[in-house]
Structure 1
Amino acid sequence: MAAYTYGTTAWNIIQAIPLMASPTIILTILSPEVREATVLETYFSRSLGFTLLALGILNLVLTGSIPLSSRLQIGNGVTTDPSDPKAPFAIPTLSITLVYHAVAGFYTYAMWTEEGSFAFGLSTGVSTILAAVGLWCLLFASSDGRISRKTGADKRTSGFPFKNTEAAKKNIGKKR
């Protein structure tokens, strides 16, 4: 989860810096004609850069990667445990950034197939990888499994439509 959080923030900062520093360069990269950016394009470019920067920082704060208290505890990493006061918004933040990366990936893929620009292709790859890692974190890293001491299987699983024959074999000798 920490790698996803820091990766998302790094990608947002990488995108924000050129938008804030020089909107003309972004316009030159993405447009077939070379021209100066208008005042409105400059405003929107810098506003988007500031927004991406804020989104990245909020991502770090709301997932608990940056502690909000002055007490530091050794060994506590990024956790999604709902009882942990350090990161009560970790799962909602993870879900929002996952949707953001998925939408950005679809959009940049559509633009890449239409325009063929390297910038859109790179953005498609990074957004898709971050969306896949975010989905993995949401599915598998967001809660602790309830592992049975007797069988070693996850208690939240059911036997429908297939039975867990290995767990049944381990319990045959213990039931008698």
Structure 2
Amino acid sequence: MSAFNAYVYGTAGWLSLKALTLIVVPKVIITLLSPEVRNATGTSLLVLCIANANESTDLEEYFARFLGYAFLLIAVIVIYFSGAIPPSSTLAGSLPEEASNPKSPYGDRILTITTIFHSLCAIYYYIRYVNTKQIGFFLGMTGSIIMSVVGYWYMMFGKDKGHLSKRTGADKRTSGFPFTNAEAAKRKAGKAY
């Protein structure tokens, strides 16, 4: 599995996890974010969630489920348009050669958009966590930071196949920052100017 496919499936998994939570148990999420639970001290969070689970309005529940369905839709769109799933053999046989190539022309665009999305979500979760000190925002921030870091890493380092030597198989690229080229430094140290 390539790094790009791992990122795409990770993004879809993270969005699906958030979506299923919002769709299946919206009252628990609404209760966790309610002011009564935030201002309570010395009481178990689980007891407060169960006690206040019936206080959510139909509108709050509707918006929570609607957001969950939107997250699921985004997850499906990311997988579909990134080319992470190659076309089936029956479909690939009827397509021209260039259309059956699993590399999607939208892959880089999907990567950029989802990485920016994860970054913006992480910033929002951080601001909410600093203001409310709720663990839900901290967990959301952590997941979004992980996904955005993986996305930025792939945009910087994952696209190149590298410049491999035909004779040794070693990577010919050299860099100065943040990694040093120790082999070049050894060769230069042996030569006197």
TM > 0.5 between the two? yes
User: Which residue matches 1:85?
Assistant: 101
Alignment of 1:66-145 (within 5 A): 66-70=85-89, 85-86=101-102, 87-145=104-162
Per the normalisation by structure 2, the TM-score is 0.68
Mapped partners of 2:28, 2:135: distance in 1: 14
User: For 1:13, which of 13, 16, 19 is the aligned residue?
Assistant: 16
Distance 1:4 1:89 in 2: 14
Which has a greater percent of helix?
Answer: 2
Conserved? CA contact 1:61–1:67, under 8 Å: no
The equivalent residue for 1:49 is: 68
Higher-Rg structure is 2
TM-score by length of 1: 0.74
The one-letter code matched in structure 2 to 1:68 is P
Cα displacement string for residues 81-121 of structure 1 (whole angstroms, at most 9, x for unaligned residues):
xx983222111000011001000000001101110111101
Percent of residue pairs identical: 33
Alignment length (residue pairs): 157
Name structure 1 gaps, 5 residues minimum: 74-82, 158-164, 171-176
Letter in 2 for 1:2: N
Is the deviation greater in 100-109 or in 35-44?
Answer: 35-44
> Unaligned stretches of 5+ in structure 2?
37-51, 93-98, 176-182, 189-193
1:166 is aligned to: 184
Partner of 1:58: 77
Q: CA RMSD in A?
A: 3.3
More displaced, 104-113 or 13-22? 13-22
